[in-house]
Amino acid sequence: MTAIVFNRNQWGRGGDAGALPSGTFDPGGNVRLAIWGQSNAIARGDISELSAAPLSADPELAQYMSGAQAFTRAYMWTGSTFALLTASNNGAVTGQFGPELGYAVRWERETVGGNIYFTKAAVSGAPIGTTFGAGDPVYGYIYRYYRDVHRAAAAWMATAGLSCERDDWLWIQGEADYQQTQSYYQGKLETLMAYRLADGLENSISMRVLAKMKVGSLVWSQAVDDAKEAIAATDPAHIKTVRMDYYKSPGDAHQNARGVVQTAYDAFSAIHGRPAVNT
């Protein structure tokens, strides 16, 4: 088993070493983030775009994906272990990346302790009812599979003597349901979230981010947007929404590299209460 070092914050815990460095914060320990949804959760951002404007203004993005710079506190579940995040284990198609990249970069730069552990559970073209239909004995097979992925990852951490302060969730789905009504989608998502809580995939302090599709894109739906906003309004302290943008071409269903990074940055800001960072 690969050893993982928990990087205990050396600043300000119990007042032992003064104030935190400017622009950083203490996350309180390790955090798990589950990225669930459709193809925009897998993500279709091309790694080659990281070296072109405007993302080239932040060279660390390309450096981390090329391996020129290695993550030290960001880990991805590989199916049998948590390994440091790389371009080859990020759960995306070869040559592409997902929201784990931007999130991990901000974690490394802005936190002063703890690790981030990603699990990724996404299937292209997956409707919320017939694949993520939690509690449905016929459908919902994706939910059951990813529930078991989460449990396996949590068990691995327990065996390794690691704990997490929180289990957070980033939900990037809705493309396959853009023709559904608000009541249909909202009911399915509420059920999914209730099962996640009941099955121990999150708890009362978990942060949940519901990503909304780009307005005017091929798969945008006001009804799905309204469903997500209505759910967020029931617990605004723990459920947030973010707006996706920067698709590959007008009407396309997939984000380009800039969009993937921006969604990750926005999710990080929403979960940790941090200032916005724009690409």
Total domains in the chain come to 1
In this prediction, residue 139 carries a pLDDT of: 62
3 in a domain, yes or no?
A: no
Question: Each residue of 174-210: pLDDT tens digit?
Answer: 999 999 999 999 999 999 999 999 999 999 899 999 9
CATH code, domain carrying 42: 3.40.50.1110
**Could you give the CA distance from residue 256 to residue 90 in angstroms, rounded to a whole number?**
17
83 in a domain, yes or no?
A: yes
18 in a domain, yes or no?
A: no
Q: Render the burial of 157-174: b for 16+ CB within 10 Å, e for the rest.
A: beeeebebebbbbbbbbb
Beta-strand relationship, 31-37 and 82-84:
unpaired
Give the domain range for residue 38.
31-272
**Could you give the CA distance from residue 43 to residue 173 in angstroms, rounded to a whole number?**
11
Which of 183, 27, 184, 197 minimizes the C-alpha distance to 104? 27
Higher pLDDT, 18 or 232: 232
In this prediction, residue 15 carries a pLDDT of: 35
In this prediction, residue 113 carries a pLDDT of: 93
**Could you give the CA distance from residue 82 to residue 75 in angstroms, rounded to a whole number?**
6
50 in a domain, yes or no?
A: yes
Q: How far is CA 235 from CA 29, 59, 142, in A?
A: 24, 37, 26
Phi first, then psi: what are they for 247, rounded to 5°?
A: -80, 165
**How large a percentage of the chain has pLDDT more than 70?**
90
The answer to whether the peptide bond before residue 54 is cis (omega within 30 degrees of 0) is yes
pLDDT category of residue 17 using cuts at 50, 70 and 90: very low
Question: Each residue of 131-179: pLDDT tens digit?
Answer: 777 667 656 788 888 899 999 999 999 999 999 999 999 999 999 999 9
Indicate the DSSP class of residue 49.
Answer: G
Question: Each residue of 210-256: pLDDT tens digit?
Answer: 999 999 899 999 999 999 999 999 999 999 999 999 998 877 889 99
Which of 93, 80, 97, 105 minimizes the C-alpha distance to 160? 80
122 within 8 A of 35, measured Cβ to Cβ: yes
pLDDT category of residue 19 using cuts at 50, 70 and 90: low
54 in a domain, yes or no?
A: yes
183 in a domain, yes or no?
A: yes
